[in-house]
Amino acid sequence: MGVEIAIGVGLFVLGSLLGSFLNVVIWRLPRDESIVAPRSRCPACGALIRWYDNIPIASFFVLGRKCRGCKAPISWRYPLVEFAAGLLLVLLYLHFGLGAYLYVYGPFVLALLAITFIDVDHRIIPNEISLPGILVGFACSFLWPGFWKESLLGILLGGGLLFLLSWGYSLLRGREGMGMGDVKLLAMMGAFLGWRSLLFIALFASVQGVLVALVMWLAGVELKPPLPEEDEEEEPPAPEPGPDGPPEKVGFFGAAIPFGPFLSLAAVEYLFFGAAFFRLLSGGQV
């Protein structure tokens, strides 16, 4: 028992440190900045952040949510990502124990965490994560006998299934709902989790995406009309068109809601509830 608590605490600390690194990735990767070279600076005043002001979660509160130098407010985003990364590793440990699942799914969920916030900020899912992710996921599939076939089918279905979803959406709405970034993300998920997971992920990502859009609509959050109006973009820094084509994409009900976070959420849910879900579907037997 004591050992498990120690491992859990250790994993939380490790996760929050990795989360701190993810914050750097989330900020720098879409801006094509190096994620290793220069030390972190305050985005407001440019002051170097000292190591003792860069302790995950704790520094945010010690500093009173302000930069030590210029007193510019620090976003809740930073401790949130650090906490989420720590929590995810602990939850994986509680669910799977120490072993191959933790070592494979740990980096996987941390990558999803970075993808989620990059997609929220920039409406892109960087190839730098998704394409190596496909390869790593497939390579890891050989840890489990025979799973490489599920993984390979997952990559193929991941690409194909989302293409079909996107095509269906475009028939309904007369415009593209998901971009190629989402397709590559789903292929990466298929590589890590096998093709079966994609049925779960497509279902739960869509349902939760529609629910969130519905709640936003009920709450009176102004959703954009089907015709996108670029100048109404809330985020001032407009992302440049990447190799995937124009980044502007129109999500549920014509509102610009990125789909990557919902796919990522559903993939994490699959890790914890997927097996139970399929047992339920098959009448309790698997």
What does the binding site for Zn ion look like in residue numbers (CB under 5 A)?
42, 44-45, 67, 69-70, 72
Give dist(CA 37, CA 153) in Å, integer.
38
Query: Which CB atom, from 52 or from 142, has the smaller least distance to Zn ion?
Result: 52
For residue 64, the minimal CB distance to Zn ion (Å) is: 13
User: 82: burial class by Cβ within 10 Å (0-12, 13-18, 19+)?
Assistant: buried
User: 59: burial class by Cβ within 10 Å (0-12, 13-18, 19+)?
Assistant: buried
For residue 75, the minimal CB distance to Zn ion (Å) is: 12
- In angstroms, what CA-CA distances link 95 with 4, 11, 244, 255? 12, 13, 36, 36
Query: Which CB atom, from 70 or from 100, has the smaller least distance to Zn ion?
Result: 70
Give dist(CA 178, CA 167) in Å, integer.
9
For residue 67, the minimal CB distance to Zn ion (Å) is: 3
For residue 49, the minimal CB distance to Zn ion (Å) is: 9
For residue 54, the minimal CB distance to Zn ion (Å) is: 13
Of 166, 157, 164, the C-alpha closest to 188 is 157
Query: Which CB atom, from 43 or from 225, has the smaller least distance to Zn ion?
Result: 43
Query: Which CB atom, from 7 or from 42, has the smaller least distance to Zn ion?
Result: 42
